[in-house]
């Protein structure tokens, strides 16, 4: 299992919209996440930063993420959510949600 933690800014003027979108995530988007071996997915807010965490239980993360990105329902969802976000300064070029470094784990 791979643990993935990421961070991105939420645009303060679109925070209410972002919250509303996530109160009603479309079923096909959730189905795609599950189909791509993602579990325990959560998004948290602190100030203007969103922190996401999920667990990946597949064998080919890059392939599953590419397949999810090609999914029409996911693409439509991202057209709604992406305008609410902007990458953090720590993001590498081309990275939307910036990957974080795990420095501690207690199981």
Distance CA 10, CA 48 (A): 5
Distance CA 50, CA 14 (A): 13
Tokens of 74: 């996911």
Q: Are strands 2-10 and 98-99 parallel, antiparallel or unpaired?
A: antiparallel
For the chain of 107 residues, list the mean pLDDT of each consecutive stretch of 10: 98 98 98 98 98 98 97 98 97 95 95
**Virtual torsion, Cα 19, 21, 23, 25, nearest 10 deg:** -140
Whole-structure pTM value: 0.92
Which superfamily is assigned to 2-99 in CATH?
Dimeric alpha+beta barrel. (3.30.70.1090)
Could you state, in order of their start, the residue ranges of all structural domains in the chain? 2-99
Distance CA 100, CA 18 (A): 22
Q: What's the pLDDT score for residue 14? A: 98
């Amino acid at each position: 299992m791979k643990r993935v933690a990421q961070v991105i800014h939420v645009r303060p003027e679109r925070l209410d919209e972002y919250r509303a979108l996530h109160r009603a995530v479309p079923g096909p988007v959730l189905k795609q996440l599950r189909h791509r071996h993602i579990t325990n997915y959560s998004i948290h807010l602190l100030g203007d930063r969103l922190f996401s965490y999920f667990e990946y239980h597949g064998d080919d993360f890059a392939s599953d993420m590419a397949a999810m990105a090609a999914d029409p329902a996911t693409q439509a969802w991202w057209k709604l959510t992406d305008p609410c976000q902007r990458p953090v300064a720590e993001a590498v070029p081309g990275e939307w949600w910036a990957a974080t470094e795990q420095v501690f784990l207690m199981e």
